Amino acid sequence: MASDKVEQSLKELENKRKNGEIGSTEFYKGLLDILELIRKELQAEQIDEKLAKRQTPLLLTFIKNQIKEFRNRGN
């Protein structure tokens, strides 16, 4: 099940961070990898209009914030 795979990846990443095996940058990049897993799984799903409408504001907020951060770093 996709949700189990993603959840396990997150738990492993969080444990590495908690145990001091990785720093903040590695943790951040690992979270981005997990977002990629989620993206792949969601694109393969049939998502109904109700779910899409409910999730869109969250994605817009994240994307707009990342664009702002890129700009602040000169990218």
Q: Do both 24 and 59 map to the same domain?
A: no
- Spell out the residues 6+ positions from residue 28 whose beta carbon is closer than 8 angstroms to its own: none
Examine the domain organization and report whether 40 and 62 are in the same domain: no
Residues 58 and 33 in one domain: no
DSSP string, 19-36: TTSS-HHHHHHHHHHHHH
Q: Do 53 and 65 share a domain, yes or no?
A: yes
* pLDDT classification of 75: cutoffs 50, 70, 90: confident
d(CA 12, CA 52): 28
1: confidence class by pLDDT, cuts 50, 70, 90: confident
- Based on the structure, what is the number of domains in the chain? 2
**The predicted structure's pLDDT at residue 37:** 94
Residues 39, 55 within the same domain: no
Selection from 17, 44, 43, 41 nearest residue 29 by Cα: 17
- Domain holding 16, by residue range, is 1-44
Other CB atoms closer than 10 Å to residue 44's CB: what's the count? 9
Convert the pLDDT of each residue in 21-73 to its tens digit.
999 999 999 999 999 999 999 999 999 999 999 999 999 999 999 999 999 99
